Amino acid sequence: MINVEKIRLCVDENFGWATSIRRHLHMHPELSFREFETSKFIAKTLEEIGIPYTLLDLPYSSAQSRLLQAAGALNGSSVNSGVLAVIEGALGGPAIGLRADIDALPILEETNLSFASVNSGVMHACGHDMHTSALLLAAKALWESRLDLAGTVYLLFQPGEECLPGGAKLVLDSGILDDKKIEAFVALHVSPEIDAGKVGIRPGMYMASGDEIHIEIKGKGGHAALPHTLNDTVLAASSVVVALQQLVARLGDSRTPSVLSIGKFIANGATNIIPSSVKLEGTFRTMNEEWRAAAHKHITDMVEATAKAHQTTAVVDIRKGYPCLINNPTKTLAVRNELIENLGKDSVVDLDIRMTTEDFGFISNRYPSVFFRLGVGGESKSSGVLHNSKFIAREDALKTGALSLISAINALLKQSF
């Protein structure tokens, strides 16, 4: 198996190199499905190491085009961002995939870092620059130890995690992984709630599915002083918001975590005007795929019935997002034990479920997978929360990230022999 101590030395020796990569990526963030320069930079870095790679060209379906258009990411008939690289061990063995997402968020950075974003209004506020740099550091260490490697490692630098339809889905739908005989996939995500030097992990169900709800309530608008002459779309929409809370409270299994939230309510009337249209937007999240499908029908039926009761009509558009993220129990426990061995028991934290979403859920539904959290918090040079303009990750976590990824590979290879 992999010589972890040799890997640890290599990671330590190349920490400065990885830090410079991270700072370049942080300074030059790109939005989902538009990571063109980021992909070129990753490819150039892999080339300098000597690792073979392929720049991704991901076709999308007509159904996916609407979502990509909404993200402003349409470019011909395919998405030209992302990289797939491969390290073939000299000793043969099974194939394992490592994934890092590479896109950034539409946020104006306010960290005052010397390497803050130069792309105004775009920021690595979710730590994908850390994910990419940690994977490159792991790749460099694995490449230098490939003569001792009893397996093949695929490195997926994936575009578009932050936007529907999700880069992971486009990668899977493209078929580029179909002939790779990958036995398991591994990914990490930064967590400012966990101190740098530590990781968090959870077997089984970990993250929720996530769907977008778009509703329009239509009716005859008019003078607010004459409610008997119009259809009160505002009241109808308000009743819809209240009624939808019954979905989780009364229709859902109380043992299944679920959340339905309406975050946007646009009634563009005035103090004395009831508008003819009110728009609502929200999200539905759960951890059971069967209930998820049933809930979509319940939502539509409930909205339409409520609107009808108010003599209005409803148009309901539920945009299916990422599926539940499930960590394979057996493989995750094996990785957890390996992390304890290599990082120490006090450095491995047991996680609770999260109702946030992650497009790695598509991968975990296709391959046995392990998704864990990388601590980037603590007192020294870290602040903020994810998706925040002042988020700063501790860079020393890069070493822990690279070592953890390689520890996961080691654990999964041991399972295969």
Query: CA nearest 33: which of 192, 131, 168?
Result: 168
Query: CA nearest 33: which of 133, 162, 130?
Result: 162
Measure CA 142 to chain center.
25
Q: Choose the catalytic residue: 30, 35, 101, 103.
A: 103
Of all helices (H) and strands (E), which one includes residue 242? Answer: helix 233-246
Q: How far apart are CA 372 and CA 200, in angstroms?
A: 6
Q: How far apart are CA 171 and CA 156, in angstroms?
A: 9
**Helix (H), strand (E) counts: the chain:** 11, 18
Going by C-beta distance under 8 Å and a sequence separation of 6 or more, which residues neighbour residue 69? none
- The answer to whether 188 and 138 have CB atoms below 8 angstroms apart is no
Of all helices (H) and strands (E), which one includes residue 243? Answer: helix 233-246
- The answer to whether 238 and 318 have CB atoms below 8 angstroms apart is no
Q: How far apart are CA 237 and CA 227, in angstroms?
A: 15
The letter for the amino acid at 25 is: L
Residue showing tokens 């994977």: 135
- The answer to whether 167 and 64 have CB atoms below 8 angstroms apart is no
Q: Choose the catalytic residue: 101, 161, 183, 232.
A: 161
Annotation says 161 is catalytic: yes
Cα-trace Rg, the chain: 23
**Active site residues per annotation:** 103, 161
